Amino acid sequence: MIGKLNHVAIVVNDLEAATAVYRDTLGAKVSAPVDLPDHGVTTVFVELPNTKIELLLPLGEDSPIAKFAANNPAGGMHHLCYEVEDIIAARDHIIAAGGRVLGDGEPKIGAHGKPVLFLHPKDFCGTLVEIEEV
């Protein structure tokens, strides 16, 4: 059901410094920052030959990642995103298999303009998982 790894998300407390590490130190191509108010984050994507790194900065005090950022002042891995062909079929399969979908269970439009859902980390080896329809 899941396809390729779309991205690994890392929460950072200084987006400019984190972008510089990937761009200047590692020589990667990085996107411009994009605010996603509906998700409470600002994102930068680092493009790699086989996947992407998503740098996440909390957007405001009510950001769903604000607590994670506060608890991890040096930053840290937040979630993995896998591609799926049909997000509704994937959601229904996951629920039928005993997995939990966070929120109201309905897809939201993610950073790539495509439907996404987040899956409970307790059901996936302690890792927050995002699925994105491609």
**Could you confirm whether 130 is annotated as catalytic?**
yes
Which of 106, 105, 108 is CA-nearest to residue 116?
108
Per-residue tokens: 111: 């950073």
- 100-106: list long-range contacts, CB under 8 Å, 24+ apart: none
3-state secondary structure of 41: strand
Per-residue tokens: 5: 């790894």
Q: Phi/psi zone of residue 98: left (φ > 0), alpha (ψ -120 to 50 degrees), beta? A: left
Q: One of 47, 61, 85, 130 is an active-site residue; which one? A: 130
Which of 18, 17, 29 is CA-nearest to residue 77?
18
Active centre residues (catalytic): 130
